[in-house]
């Protein structure tokens, strides 16, 4: 690690952060909460921020928490972390694995690393508070609910976020990813994809399983649709234009000897431009309608769009500033992130202020696991990814690197 005297002075408090941060992380990991239910996590965050002198606003956008720390004249820098978990049953085998369920009994896990984000931002908040003589300006630390539901950022904006903190000069954030722990990566321009989820219902005519001639089988219809949808990206989108179409759920019927009268397909679309997103959505509707016609479906299909995320399009100037700061501090641990087809609602926060933003990647994979998989050419097969039941960022150096990254990026403005 490198850095100037000011950075070194701020990181003199790292031992104080480590004294609680790893235990805090394990506790939050063991107690995940679904979108809009992050009451416990928000309460823990608010209590610590108050200890460190932040002016704290709770309940922003439902369960969001905002801490503000002003130290004289200077720019306002907003740092963001998300707090919600996912409806996934954990299979990591960790001693601190989640055994929790949501309010409706759904299993819950921090399968996307938001527990890392919360822990790192709290660590950065303490470091900046403890070394406030090393910087001037205003630090805003924002803990957002419901990123997975795609509406948490917008809820905080609608609840008066701008009136609470004013306009920041820059909005900064990070996400732990399946990269080697200890590394950070930046990317200017489109970095995370726009996402659009869709629920499709197709209709058939039910009958006894022994009399298929009396039915219009929606199970077969749904199967044909799923297969045909695999050609949309492969045959309708240019090879140099990234896009993903994933069918995540197909549901129909309740028994083995009855043909149902409807089937439901849930799918997800990712693209790095609005034009491509619209093109894929229109292709899905065309394919579904055509297959329904070919199967002689008695009713038109229905389409419901939901869960839309914007493209995360990092500001070039802000990204260059952060990248230079990362290179100066992390050395070879800093590099290029490239494009990822995952999606985020982070940019809604910056766009609401009309502020530039940049969002970088943080490695969370055990270096030994990563190095072995890379050496054997089996990274895709061996390295768990976000939303997997076995995704478990290694505690260190992930937490320290993520904490340092937030501070180094903030100090590039403060």
Residue list for the binding site for Mn(2+)? 112, 114, 148, 175
At 376, which helix (H) or strand (E)? Answer: none
Q: How far is CA 65 from the centre of its chain?
A: 18
Phi then psi dihedrals of residue 129, to 5 deg:
-70, -40
Tokens of 219: 């199970």
Cα dihedral 277/280/285/287 (nearest 10): 180
Beta pairing, strands 76-82 & 137-144: parallel
List the beta bridge partners of residue 202: 263
Alpha carbon distance 335, 360 (integer Å): 10
The region that residue 342 occupies, defined by phi over 0 for left and psi between -120 and 50 for alpha, beta otherwise, is beta
Cβ neighbourhood burial of 71 (10 Å; 0-12, 13-18, 19+)? middle
Are 118 and 20 within 8 A, CB to CB? Answer: no
Residues in the chain: 414
At 181, which helix (H) or strand (E)? Answer: none
User: Using only C-alpha atoms, what is the Rg of the chain?
Assistant: 23
Distances in Å between the Cα of 259 and the Cα atoms of 204, 299, 368 are 9, 16, 51
Which parts of 253-352 are beta strand (E)? Answer: 258-259, 262-271, 302-309, 312-314, 334-336
Are 171 and 357 within 8 A, CB to CB? Answer: yes
Task: Please state, as a whole number, how many other Cβ atoms lie within 10 Å of the Cβ of residue 83.
Answer: 30
As annotated, the binding site includes 112, 114, 148, 175
Spatial neighbors of 354 by CB under 8 A, at least 6 apart, are 167
Give the chain's largest Cα–Cα span. 80
At 47, which helix (H) or strand (E)? Answer: helix 39-51
Are 147 and 345 within 8 A, CB to CB? Answer: yes
């Amino acid at each position: 690690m490198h850095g100037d005297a000011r950075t070194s002075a701020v990181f003199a408090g790292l031992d104080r952060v480590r004294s609680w941060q790893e235990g805090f992380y394990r506790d939050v990991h063991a107690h995940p909460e679904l979108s809009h239910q992050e009451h416990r996590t928000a309460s823990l965050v608010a209590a610590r921020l108050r200890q460190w002198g932040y002016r704290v606003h709770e309940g922003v956008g439902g369960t969001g928490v905002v801490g503000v720390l002003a130290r004289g004249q200077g720019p306002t820098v907003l740092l963001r972390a998300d707090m919600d978990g996912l409806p996934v049953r954990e299979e990591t085998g960790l001693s601190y694995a989640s055994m929790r369920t949501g309010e409706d009994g759904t299993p819950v896990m921090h399968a996307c690393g938001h527990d890392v984000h919360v822990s790192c931002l709290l660590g950065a908040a303490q470091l900046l508070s403890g070394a406030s003589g090393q910087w001037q300006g205003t630090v805003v630390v924002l803990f957002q609910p419901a990123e997975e539901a795609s509406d948490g950022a917008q809820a905080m904006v609608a609840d008066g976020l701008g009136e609470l903190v004013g306009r920041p000069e820059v909005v900064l954030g990070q996400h732990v990813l399946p990269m080697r722990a200890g590394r950070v990566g930046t990317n200017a321009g489109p970095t995370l994809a726009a996402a659009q989820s869709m629920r499709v219902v197709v209709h058939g005519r039910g009958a006894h399983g022994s009399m298929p001639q009396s039915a219009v089988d929606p199970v077969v219809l749904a199967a044909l649709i799923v297969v045909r949808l695999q050609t949309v990206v492969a045959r309708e989108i240019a090879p140099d234009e990234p896009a993903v179409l994933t069918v995540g759920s197909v549901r129909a019927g309740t028994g083995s000897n009855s043909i149902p009268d409807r089937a439901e397909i849930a799918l997800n679309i990712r693209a790095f431009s609005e034009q491509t997103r619209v093109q894929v959505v229109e292709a899905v509707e065309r394919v579904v309608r055509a297959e329904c016609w070919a199967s002689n479906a008695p009713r038109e299909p229905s389409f419901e769009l939901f869960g839309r995320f914007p493209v995360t399009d990092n500001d070039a100037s802000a990204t260059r500033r952060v990248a230079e700061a990362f290179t100066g501090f992390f050395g070879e641990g800093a590099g290029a992130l490239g494009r990822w087809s995952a999606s985020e609602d982070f940019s809604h926060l910056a766009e609401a202020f009309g502020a530039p933003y940049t969002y970088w990647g943080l490695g969370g994979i055990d270096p030994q696991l990563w190095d072995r998989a890379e050496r054997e050419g089996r990274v895709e097969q061996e390295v768990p990814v976000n939303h997997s039941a076995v995704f478990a960022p290694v505690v260190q150096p992930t937490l320290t690197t993520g904490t340092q990254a937030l501070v180094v990026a903030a100090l590039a403005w403060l």
